[in-house]
Amino acid sequence: MNVLRLSVSSYRRSQRYLEGGPGHFFMYLLARFRVVRSIVVWIYSLRNTTALSAAGPTFVEHVDVDGAARCISEDGFFSGLRLQPDAVEELLTFSDLAPCFGDGRRDRPFLYADRANAEQQYGETFKLGRYNHALLASPLLQALSRDAQLLAIARKYLQTEPVLIGVRMWWSFVGPADKDEQMKSAQGFHYDIDGYRGLTFFFYLTNVGLSNGPHVYVRGTHVKKAWKHVVSLYKGRSDDEINQSYGLERQVVSCGPAGSGFAEDIFGFHKGLHPESGDRLIVQLRYGLRDYGTGRND
C-alpha cells in the first residue's frame, strides 16, 4: 500500500514537468546529475547577457558578495542577510491588508486577522496562508526582486545574469498536522529542481525561534546526495532517512528576528519545521539560469 501511494505521489509530482514541454521535462530528468548541471552552468557562463535593472536603493543591508557566493558554492547555504527595517514594516503592512489564501487555494481567501472566522466559515483548518500573486500586488516585492545586493550574489553564484523564477510570501500556521500534512506544506525534508542551477533567498518577517518553524538546510547536499536520492522521482525524505544518510551535524537550523534572511541552493535537502507556537511569515525569491515555469502563480 505504501509503495502504491508513493508511486501515485511521484507521478503527480512529475506531471507538472510534463506540461512545460520537452525542455522542461528533460531538465527535470537530467538536472539531478552533477555532471550535467556543471556542463549547463558552464555553457550559460559563456553567454553575453544584459544585466537586470538594479536601479534605486537597496533594501538589504550590506553583505560581502564574494563571501556569500563562496559559502553557497561550498555548503549550499549562506546566512547573515538582513532586510532594512522599513522594508520589513512595509511587507508586514501588506500582509495585514492583502488577502491570503488557505493552503494556497484560490477559493479560500481571507485576511490574516480573520483566520479563525475563515476557518469556521470554510469548515477547514489551514496549515498555510499563501499570498497568491504577491509579486504583482506588492511594489516593494517587485523592487526587492531587482535589489542590487541580491542580484549581485545570484549573478556570482549562477555565473551568468540571473533570471527571476518567482516570488512567494506565506504564513505557516500553528496547529495540529500529521507527517503527510507537514510534507504537503514543505515541512518535511525535500529538494527542488527549478533548473540546472538556482538560488533562493528567504527573509523572515516575524521573529523565528526554535518553536516558530525555523528553516533547516542540509549542508553539501546541493552537490552530493546518496545515489538513491538522485535517481528517485520522489524528492521528499523522512527525518530518519536524512539523519542516517547525512548526519545531524550537517543540518543548519535558521533562527532569527524579523528581517533576518539567508540564501541557499534548494537543490539541497531542506524543510521548514512546523510551528509549535507563533505563526511564521516568510518571503522567498528564486532565481535561475532560465524560467521553466516552476514559479507560476507566484
Quick one: which of 264, 82, 262, 59 has its CA closest to 147? 59
What percent of the chain lies above the pLDDT cut of 70? 89
Report the pLDDT value the prediction gives residue 13, as an integer from 0 to 100. Answer: 54
Report the pLDDT value the prediction gives residue 266, as an integer from 0 to 100. Answer: 96
Task: Determine contact, residues 17/25, Cβ cutoff 8 Å.
Answer: yes
pLDDT higher than threshold 90 for residue 182: no
Report the pLDDT value the prediction gives residue 186, as an integer from 0 to 100. Answer: 78
Q: What is the pLDDT of residues 124-133, one digit of tens each?
A: 999 999 999 9
H or E segment to which residue 204 belongs: strand 198-204
Mean pLDDT of 91-100: 97
Report the pLDDT value the prediction gives residue 296, as an integer from 0 to 100. Answer: 63
Confidence of residue 22 (pLDDT cuts 50, 70, 90): confident
Q: Mutual orientation of helices 65-75 and 148-158 as an angle, nearest 10°?
A: 50
Report the pLDDT value the prediction gives residue 1, as an integer from 0 to 100. Answer: 39
Supply 272's cell numbers: 521548514
pLDDT higher than threshold 80 for residue 20: no
What secondary structure, in 3-state letters, does 169-204 show?
Answer: EEEECCCCCCHHHHHHCCCCEECCCCCCCEEEEEEE
Which domains, from first to last, does the chain contain?
Answer: 2-49+59-288 (2.60.120.620)
Mean pLDDT of 70-81: 96
Mean pLDDT of 185-196: 90
Q: What is the pLDDT of residues 147-171, one digit of tens each?
A: 999 999 999 999 999 999 999 999 9
Quick one: which of 264, 276, 206 has its CA closest to 74? 264
Burial class (CB in 10 A: 0-12, 13-18, 19+), 34: middle
Q: What is the pLDDT of residues 243-285, one digit of tens each?
A: 999 999 999 999 999 999 999 999 999 999 999 999 999 999 9
* Residue type for position 145: S
Mean pLDDT of 48-69: 77
**More confident position, 196 or 57:** 196
Confidence of residue 67 (pLDDT cuts 50, 70, 90): very high
